[in-house]
């Protein structure tokens, strides 16, 4: 075999291995980005709920035991 063919084959093998390694890496990064986005949205919702709870004039939960005999 000519030397050029061996170099070409080895180059193609290296490129193939890099592609096989990069595909799962890229897919994992996409998955992590999606999860990060979902967590940020969830965090915003939780902050909004906490702010609403802390700033509400009347608490949403009334103590139903207030004034009962067993108090």
pLDDT digits 0-9 by tens, 2-35:
666 888 999 999 999 999 999 999 999 999 999 9
CA distances from 43 to 38, 46, 50, 56, 71 (A): 9, 5, 10, 20, 37
Give me the chain's average pLDDT, please.
85
**Which residues have C-beta within 8 Å of that of residue 65, sequence separation ≥ 6?**
71
Residue whose token pair is 């291995």: 17
Give the predicted TM-score (pTM) of the model. 0.56
pLDDT at position 13 is 95
| Res 63 pLDDT > 70 | no
Question: DSSP string spanning 13-37?
Answer: HHHHHHHHHHHHHHHHHHHHHHHHH
């Amino acid at each position: 075999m000519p030397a050029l063919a061996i170099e070409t084959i080895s180059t193609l093998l290296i490129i193939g291995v890099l592609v096989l390694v990069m595909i799962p890496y890229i897919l994992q990064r996409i998955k992590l980005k999606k999860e990060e986005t979902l967590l940020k949205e969830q965090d915003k919702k939780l902050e909004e709920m906490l702010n609403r709870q802390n700033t509400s004039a009347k608490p949403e939960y009334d103590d139903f035991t207030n004034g009962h005999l067993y108090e």
